[in-house]
Amino acid sequence: MRSANEPDATHVAVLLAETIVALRPALHTGAAVRCVDATGGRGGHSAALLAELGAADTLLILDRDPSAIAALRARFAQDSRVYIRQARFSQLAEVLAALEWERVDAILADLGVSSPQLDEAARGFSFLRDGPLDMRMDPGADRSAAEWLATATEAEMTRVLREYGEERFARPIARAILRAREQAPITRTLQLAELIAQVLPRHETGQHPATRSFQGIRIFINRELEELEAFLPQAMNALRAGGRLAVISFHSLEDRLVKRFFRADDYRISADIPLRASELPPLPWHPAGKALRAGPREIHDNPRSRSAVLRVAERSERHAA
pLDDT-based confidence at 221, cuts 50/70/90? Answer: very high
Q: What 3-state class would DSSP assign to 192?
A: helix
CATH code, domain with 175: 1.10.150.170
Question: When comparing pLDDT for 281 and 85, which is higher?
Answer: 85
Is a pLDDT exceeding 60 seen at residue 274? no
Q: Does some domain include residue 1?
A: no
Q: Which residue, of 221, 239, 273, is where some domain finishes? A: 221
**Both 108 and 20 in a single domain?**
yes
**Both 251 and 277 in a single domain?**
yes
Distance CA 215, CA 167 (A): 10
Residue 318 CB partners (closer than 8 Å, separation 6+): 241, 282
Amino acid at 102: E
When computed from its CA atoms, the radius of gyration of the chain, rounded to whole angstroms, is 21
**Both 27 and 93 in a single domain?**
yes
Q: Does some domain include residue 132?
A: no
**Both 142 and 286 in a single domain?**
no
Rounded to the nearest angstrom, the gap between the alpha carbon of residue 286 and the centroid of all alpha carbons in its chain is 21
Burial grade of 111 (CB within 10 A; 0-12, 13-18, 19 or more): buried
Q: Does some domain include residue 125?
A: no
CATH code, domain with 82: 3.40.50.150
Q: What 3-state class would DSSP assign to 313?
A: strand
Whether the CB-CB separation of 138 and 68 falls below 8 Å is answered with no
Select, from the ranges 110-124, 215-229, 263-277, the one with the highest average predicted confidence (pLDDT).
215-229
pLDDT tens digit sequence for 42-65: 999 999 999 999 999 999 999 999
Q: Does some domain include residue 130?
A: no
**Both 111 and 64 in a single domain?**
yes
**Both 110 and 228 in a single domain?**
yes
**How many C-beta neighbours within 10 Å does residue 270 have?**
6
Instruction: Give the bridge partners for 82, in sequence order.
Output: 59
Q: Does some domain include residue 133?
A: no
**Both 102 and 238 in a single domain?**
yes
**Both 228 and 315 in a single domain?**
yes
pLDDT tens digit sequence for 197-220: 999 866 666 688 999 999 999 999
**Both 231 and 302 in a single domain?**
yes
pLDDT of residue 12: 79
Q: What does each C-alpha distance from 170 to 148, 151, 192, 295 come to in angstroms? A: 16, 17, 14, 33
Is a pLDDT exceeding 70 seen at residue 228? yes
Distance CA 124, CA 117 (A): 8
Q: Does some domain include residue 228?
A: yes
